[in-house]
Homo-oligomer: A and B are copies of this chain.
Amino acid sequence: MSTQISLLPDSKPEQEPLVFLKDRMVPASQASIAIYDAGIILGATVTDMTRTFHHRPFRLEDHIDRFYRSARYTRIRPPFDRDRMEEISRELVRHNARLIPPGQELSLVHFMTAGEIASYSALPGTPKKMAPTLCIHTFPVPFEAFTHLFTEGAHVVTPSIRHYPPQCIDSKIKHRSRMHQWLADQETQQVDPRGITLLLDLDGNVTETSGSNFAIVQDGGVVAPSARNTLQGVSLLTVSELCRELDIPYEQRDFQVYDVMNADEALLLTTPYCICPVTRVNGATIGDGKAGGPVFRRLIDAWSDRVGLDIVGQITGRPAVSSSAGSS
C-alpha cells in the first residue's frame, strides 16, 4: 500500500506526520486548502473522526460507513470506495503513530469538501469541474484538555441558540457548517468559560453538544435523545451495546432540561474520551454533583475492558480505582 502513496519530493515522512490530501500523502506542514475551496466558501464539508486505542483505530469501519452515509446524503462522491478509504486510513495511522509516545493516542480525521469552486479563483488555469477535496489526517488526542471532565465532571449549558432542524439540514450527517455552534458557544462561555454547549432543538428537546452525544441516567437506565436530530454517534452505539452486555436498560426518546436536572447521572459520549460524567447543567448540580456515578463507572470499566486499557487513567494520568477494579 505505502508504495501507492506518492509523497511530494521534498517531504520527510520520518520526521513529520503525514496527511492524505486529495490523492496523495503530504507532510502535515504542507497540508492546506485553497481559499476558493467549497469547504472554505460554503462549509460544504462532510467529516468523521475516530481515535486509536493502543495506536489502533477504534471501530474504523463504523466511522467510514457513517462518512459514506454523509457523503451519499450530500451527494459529494468520495474518490474511491470504502475498502481503499480504510486501507489509506490504516496506513496513515501506522505511519503517524510512530511519531508519538506509546501513552499518547491519535485522532484520525476524514473530511471531504465539495471541491474547489473555479469561479472564485484568481488563477486562470483552475479546472471548471468540481472534484471533491478529500483529506485524512491525524492529531494527538489532547488528553490534558479532558482531565477536568473526569475530576469535576462536565458543566453543560443550554444557550438561546437552537440546533438546526431537519427541515434545514439533518444532524445525522457529520458536516462542518457549524457556525450556529460557534455562536452558541459564545453564549455558553458567558456562563462558564469551560461550559459545554448542550443544544436544544426548536421544540425544546435536548439534542447534543458540539462534540458529543448526550444521555441521562434515569431509574437505572440510560436514556439518549431520539434519533431525529442528533448524530448517529459511534460512542453512543458502543454504549448501547455495553448496556445490553451489562443489563442496563437503554432507550432513545425525547427529553427536556427538566429530565437532565432531575437525572441520577448525565453523560457525554464522544470519540476522544469515550464517556464522561456531567455534573452540572446551567449552573445547577445533577444528582449529588460528584463526577462518576455508578452507571458511568460500569460503562467506562466495560469499555476499558473492551479496548484493553484504562481509558480514564490514560487521560488523567491517574489509574482509575473503580468498583470493578482490576478489570481494566
> Which residues of A are at the interface with B, using a C-beta cutoff of 8 A?
16-17, 19, 21, 28-29, 31-45, 69, 72-75, 96, 107, 109, 111, 114, 119-123, 135, 137-140, 142, 145, 157-170, 172-173, 175-183, 186-187, 190-192, 200, 202-205, 226-228, 253-259, 261-262, 282-284
**Whole-angstrom CA separation of A38 from B182 in the bound complex:** 10
In the complex, chain B residues whose CB is within 8 Å of the CB of A202? 165, 167-168, 202
Report chain B residues within 8 Å CB of A135: 35
Q: List 24 A-B contacts (CB under 8 A).
A: A31-B34, A33-B34, A33-B35, A35-B137, A42-B179, A43-B176, A43-B178, A43-B179, A69-B262, A74-B182, A74-B183, A119-B139, A120-B139, A157-B190, A160-B160, A160-B200, A166-B257, A167-B202, A168-B168, A170-B257, A170-B258, A186-B282, A190-B191, A191-B191
Interface centre among A17, A75, A114, A186 (most CB of B within 10 A): A75
Which one of B40, B183, B261, B284 lies within 8 Å of A39 (CB-CB)? B40
**Alpha-carbon separation in the docked complex, A282 to B159 (Å):** 10
What copy number does this chain have within its complex? 6
Shortest A17–chain B CB gap in Å is 4
Task: Give chain B nearest CB distance to A199 CB in angstroms.
Answer: 9
Residue pair B75, A186 in contact (C-beta under 8 Å): yes
Residues of B with C-beta under 8 A to A257: 73, 160, 166, 170
Q: Which chain B residues lie closer than 8 Å to A142 at the CB level?
A: 119
Cα-based distance from A5 to B158 in the complex (angstroms)? 42
Inter-chain contacts of A29 with B (CB < 8 A): 123
* The one of B28, B109, B172, B258 that contacts A73, using a Cβ cutoff of 8 Å: B258
Across the A-B interface, the 9 shortest Cβ-Cβ residue pairs = A43-B43, A167-B204, A177-B179, A177-B177, A32-B32, A166-B204, A17-B122, A170-B258, A158-B160
| Bound-complex Cα distance A176 to B31 (A) | 21
Please report the C-alpha to C-alpha distance between residue A119 and residue B143 in the assembled complex, in whole angstroms: 10
Q: Cβ of B158 and Cβ of A180 under 8 Å apart?
A: no
